[in-house]
Amino acid sequence: MEITHDEFIEKYADVRMTFSNYYKYGFTYIGQTDDGVKVSVRYGGDANQIYRFSLDAGHNFLLGETAMSFKRGVSERIDTNEELFDFYDF
């Protein structure tokens, strides 16, 4: 189900996100809720946006406490891979 960026961040504000990978100017972070939902968000998307982005090993944060502006977010049930919510702001 498509929702807005703000709705997604509010819904998963308490999820601790950890850096997962980097691909084509985008940094992906993943986390998990207590009830078995995998949450992933993507920051960046173009060279200008991430030119001065600094990343430390093990970088993590609570989703609702970061000032990062994500371009993509997806949540899905871990047991069934059923997609629950997503947003896409490219």
Number of folded domains in the chain? 1
CB atoms within 10 A of CB 88: 11
Q: Looking at this protein, which amino acid is placed at residue 86?
A: D
Q: What is the pLDDT of residue 13?
A: 96
Give per-residue pLDDT as tens, 13-63.
Answer: 999 999 999 998 999 999 999 999 999 999 988 888 787 778 788 889 999
Which of 4-8, 58-62, 70-74 is predicted least confidently? 58-62
- Which domain range does residue 73 map to? 5-88
Q: What is the pLDDT of residue 16?
A: 97
